[in-house]
Amino acid sequence: MENEYEKSNIIKLPYMDPAIVSREIGDFVIGTVNDVNATGCVIGLSGGIDSSTTAALIKNAFDKYNSDHGRRLELVGYILPSKINSAKDSDDGVRVADILKLRYEVVALDKVIDAYKTTNPEVYASQYHRGNMISRIRSNVLSTKAATEHKIIAGTGNKDEDFGVGYYTLFGDGAVHLSPIGGLSKRLVRQMAEYLGLPHDLVYREPTAGLEQDQTDFSDLGYRYDVVELVTEGLQQEFGPGKMIVNEQIRSLVESQIKSLKNPELNTVDAVVYDILRRNKVAEMKSKIIHPPIAPVTLEYR
């Protein structure tokens, strides 16, 4: 049996009943849409797990609501590629739209991006700033599509990305009307995607923001979202930095990941934990500036 000391050093992770949570998220989206008398939602489809899962949750909810109430709430998907994206990104976005039977449109952004050379030439010297500009361009396109269709923008950020480490562009992919999966970690998003029957290759596709060539979230951050979830949950459960650094759950995960990435700045457990805590402060500051409502979901800790 575990002794009390061992129990006190365990970071508890939340669990969910996907059937209950999918209904909660669907009701939240429908309530938000009806509150503003919108005709539905628009969503940016990247083919990744977050946008695919969000789209499936909303489409299922709209289909049931329309059948029960004789209305026509609609989800429209927009696939917004540029030359920095692989063709597979667009193909996967189209595949998701076809699976869900969504009306969708592919809008190539290269001409719009190039037009910014006349106003912001300084951006093109930095991949980082150019990538964030592209995110803001995507947001502008989505916002305008939503406005002209009298719809609202469904965000696709999960709890780890948006509220754990603030891994999104302010006024870019963070500029949305509501955050359906903002209460779910990446782990729970994958569980939900499996419950919804999304293709296995999409559920386990390597996460990427699609703002730089060959970019991945793992290469940007230096650790995966399972570490982010553990550290942020530890923070909520009043584990201080010192206690998290020696926590075996965190240590085993971090040590396996830093070996594969070999990032000289994040090559110890201490460095990773403090980097996540630093980013968490940034996430808090970002959320004070732009904070879309998050769907309330029922989670249990064991």
pLDDT surpasses 60 at 145: yes
Residue 76 domain flag: yes
Residue 2 domain flag: no
Domain boundaries, position 67: 8-211+283-301
Residue 264 domain flag: no
Q: Is residue 181 within 8 Å of 164, Cβ to Cβ?
A: no
Residue 89 domain flag: yes
Count of the separate structural domains present in the chain: 1
For residue 272, CA distances in Å to 146, 159, 220, 279 come to 39, 18, 13, 11
Task: Specify the pTM.
Answer: 0.93
Give the Cα separation of 154 and 42 in Å (integer).
Answer: 6
Residue 231 domain flag: no
Residue 221 domain flag: no
Q: Nearest Cα to 275, choosing from 297, 302, 249, 250?
A: 250
CATH, residue 188: 3.40.50.620
Placement of tokens 């696709």 in the chain:
156
Give the Cα separation of 283 and 51 in Å (integer).
Answer: 20
Residue 276 domain flag: no
Give the Cα separation of 251 and 176 in Å (integer).
Answer: 35
For residue 237, CA distances in Å to 2, 153, 163, 232, 301 come to 19, 33, 16, 9, 11
- pLDDT tens digits, 247-291: 999 999 999 888 777 677 888 999 999 999 999 999 999 998 888
Q: Is residue 201 within 8 Å of 167, Cβ to Cβ?
A: no
Q: Nearest Cα to 106, choosing from 78, 82, 86, 143?
A: 78
Residue 261 domain flag: no
- pLDDT tens digits, 90-131: 889 999 999 999 999 999 999 999 999 999 999 999 999 999
Give the Cα separation of 66 and 34 in Å (integer).
Answer: 12
pLDDT surpasses 70 at 20: yes
